[in-house]
Amino acid sequence: MALSLDIITLGTAHPQTANSFYRAAFSPTTTGDGLDLHGTGRLAFRPIGELAGEAGTDPATSGFRGYVLSAVVNQPDEVEALLDLATANGATVVRPAKKKLFGEFTAVYRAPDGALWKLAAATKKNTRPVPDPIAPSETAIYLGVTKPTAAKTFYEALGMRVERDYGDTFIDFTIAPGVCRLGLLPRIALAKDAGVDAHGDGFSAAVLTHTAASRDDLDSLLKAADAAGGTIARPTTRTDEGDHVALFTDPDGFHWKITAPA
């Protein structure tokens, strides 16, 4: 039993528009559960009211949503090319592509659905032509939390293993092929890194999904989340297709959905 981030579902007023944007921005493949970001995780889109209703919360959202999505590519030219693709299809530049103080080459944009994306290069120099399509080597979501070490304890209780631990500055967890990385930063620090104001409230417009192998695994994860300080937002129910589904929030209020086959 171990929690993994298999799908990130974004709530938006126009799911088809969001789907079209991300297809243009990342050239992903289509799967039964949304868009596959070149084997580094999946995105899905639902009407924000529907997504909030399933999570048991009000759909109203304003300001910083408390998280930043990220795509890591090989070199600076690829960051610039992905930023150009995003802005050509309706994204707004928040931070232009440039080298930061300690050599990291990054850019930040706001997608038409409102989500913030940080693009980062794994290397400092361009060593090859820009590929087509540009395939991220990693995707991630970074959560702005009250205290990363406390949030780490919660996620470790659900079976996640820490990869990098800088205390209450930055923590992230190991990933497996096909899933997104999860990272933790203080909310104010995360907003500052993205170049936005940290104020905001309401629904985050995102639900993080884990696909459990069985109903027993689902129940074990839900029990662990409850015992570790999470809140059960929706007890286990059956879908029309017979699958099992439950939702919980972590101690900082981020929504998780666990599904298991019938």
Residue 227 in any domain: the answer is yes
Flag whether the pTM goes above 0.85: yes
Mean pLDDT of 106-124: 96
Does 210 map to a domain?
Answer: yes
User: pLDDT of 224-240, one tens digit each?
Assistant: 999 999 999 999 999 98
Percentage of the chain surpassing pLDDT 90?
92
* Domain-located, residue 88: yes
Is residue 132 a part of any domain in this protein? yes
Confidence at residue 66, expressed as pLDDT on a 0 to 100 scale? 98
pLDDT digits (tens, 9 = 90+) for 77-93: 999 999 999 999 999 99
For residue 147, being part of any structural domain is answered with yes
Q: CATH no. for residue 47?
A: 3.10.180.10
Domain that holds residue 139: 7-260
pLDDT of residue 176: 87
pLDDT, position 101: 66
Give the pLDDT confidence score for residue 29 in this predicted structure: 87
**1 domain-assigned:** no
The answer to whether residue 2 is domain-embedded is no
Tokens of 128: 């090859």
Give the whole-angstrom CA distance, residue 65 versus residue 57.
14
Q: Is the pLDDT of residue 102 over 80?
A: no
| Cβ-based neighbour number of residue 155 at 10 Å | 22
Counting the structural domains of the chain, the total is 1
CA trace torsion 13, 16, 21, 26 (10° rounding) = 120
Burial bucket for residue 42 (CB in 10 Å: 0-12, 13-18, 19+): buried
What is the secondary structure of the chain as a DSSP string? ----B-EEEEEES-HHHHHHHHHHHH-PEEETTEEE-TTS-EEEEEEHHHHHHHHTS---EEE--SEEEEEEESSHHHHHHHHHHHHHTT-EEEEEEEE-TTS-EEEEEE-TTS-EEEEEESSSS--SPPPSS---SEEEEEEEES-HHHHHHHHHHTT--EEEE-TTS-EEE---TTSBEEEEEEHHHHHHHHTS-S-EEE--SEEEEEE-SSHHHHHHHHHHHHHTT-EEEEEEEE-TTS-EEEEEE-TT--EEEEEE--
